[in-house]
């Protein structure tokens, strides 16, 4: 198939340098593999070393074009600065690092509120800010975010801090899209419904999983948004859910 028509060629990221935050998590592992298989050099910051064996297993022991950076705290400006001091110019950023808390407003303490913003919004802000200068200089950049349906659906009862933080992620995405437009930088967010992960299966053992999204399905969407073919897509909030 001609890569300029329809589905992009599998090596659509060949020669690109990608940074995948949260790359050792369930979705992150899928994105790391899909980006690697698409030809990118993939850099993965690691905070919890206990998650490295899971990533290596998902990659079937093939760490070609995979670069792990240990002891990286993306919630701290100095942690992000130290990371970028070791990286080549980054062309694709997938901001997947985040966290979740289920609680209504009365049960959300200030520490949980701050943690949700720090893990979801602050990490995306710090990493995007650090990547922006090299992208601007190169005239090319792709910034990818993971938001959530509460960000566009008038919030969500029972997940006050999480929904607010994901709304901040979406607003940040749209601001970056406007700021990057004249420099060849796009910024887009995906809004997945429930992802089929081990953690979600344990949390909802009796749920009907037929419409849950597979991590690799989401990863393929992110691969397209990272490609040159997606250059006319920016500032988008892309809902990801299986049709009934």
Sheet holding 141-146, edge to edge: 66-69, 41-45, 17-21, 92-95, 141-146, 185-192, 237-240
Q: Quick one: which of 98, 131, 82, 114 has its CA closest to 23?
A: 98
Beta bridge partner(s), residue 69? 45
Dihedral over alpha carbons 158, 164, 165, 169 (to 10 degrees): 130
Residues tagged active-site: 162
Matching residue, tokens 């890569």:
3
Whether the Cβ atoms of residue 58 and residue 34 lie closer than 8 Å to each other: no
């Amino acid at each position: 198939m001609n890569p300029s028509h329809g589905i992009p060629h599998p090596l659509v990221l060949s020669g690109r340098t990608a940074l995948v935050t949260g790359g050792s998590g369930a979705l992150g592992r899928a994105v790391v593999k899909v980006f690697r298989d698409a030809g990118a050099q993939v850099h993965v910051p690691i905070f919890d070393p206990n998650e490295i064996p899971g990533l290596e297993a998902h990659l079937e022991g093939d760490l070609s074009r995979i670069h792990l950076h240990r002891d990286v705290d993306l919630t701290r400006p100095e942690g992000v600065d130290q990371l970028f001091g070791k990286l080549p110019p980054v062309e694709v950023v997938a901001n997947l690092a985040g966290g979740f808390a289920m609680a209504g407003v009365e049960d959300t303490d200030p520490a949980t509120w701050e943690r949700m913003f720090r893990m979801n919004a602050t990490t995306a802000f710090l990493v995007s800010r650090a990547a922006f200068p090299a992208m601007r200089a190169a005239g090319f950049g792709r910034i990818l975010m993971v938001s959530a349906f509460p960000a566009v659906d008038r919030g969500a009862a029972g997940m006050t801090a999480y929904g607010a933080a994901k709304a901040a992620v979406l607003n940040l995405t749209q601001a970056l899209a406007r700021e990057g437009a004249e420099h060849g930088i796009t910024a887009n967010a995906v809004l997945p419904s429930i992802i089929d992960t081990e953690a979600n299966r344990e949390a909802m053992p009796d749920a009907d999983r037929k419409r849950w999204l597979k991590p690799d399905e989401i990863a393929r969407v992110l691969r397209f948004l990272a490609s040159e073919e997606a250059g006319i897509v920016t500032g988008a909030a892309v809902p990801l859910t299986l049709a009934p």
